[in-house]
Structure 1
Amino acid sequence: MNEAVLTVTDHGGWTELTLNRPDRLNSFNEEMHGALAAALDDAADESCRAVLLTGAGRGFCAGQDLSARANAEGPLDLGSTIEAFYNPLIRRIRGLNKPVICAVNGVAAGAGANIALACDIVLAARSAKFIQAFSKIGLVPDSGGTYFLPRLIGDARARALMLLAEPLAAETAAEWGLIWKVIDDAALMDEARALTARLATQPTQGLALTKAALNASGGNSLNDQLDLERDLQREAGRTPDYREGVKAFMEKRTPNFTGRRS
Structure 2
Amino acid sequence: MSTTEQRVAIVTGAARGIGAATAVRLAEEGRAVAVLDLDEGACAETVEQIIAAGGRALAVGCDVSDGEQVEAGVARVAAELGAPSILVNNAGVLRDNLLFKMSESDWDTVMNVHLRGAFLMSRATQAHMVDAGFGRIVNLSSSSALGNRGQANYAAAKAGLQGFTKTLAKELGKFGITANAVAPGFIATDMTAATAARVGMGFEDFQAAAATQIPVQRVGRPEDIADAVAYFTNERAGFVSGQVLYVAGGPLD
Q: Same fold (TM over 0.5)?
A: no
Larger relative CO (CA 8 A, sep 6+): 1 or 2?
2
TM-score by length of 2: 0.32
| Largest Rg, 1 or 2 | 1
TM-score by length of 1: 0.31
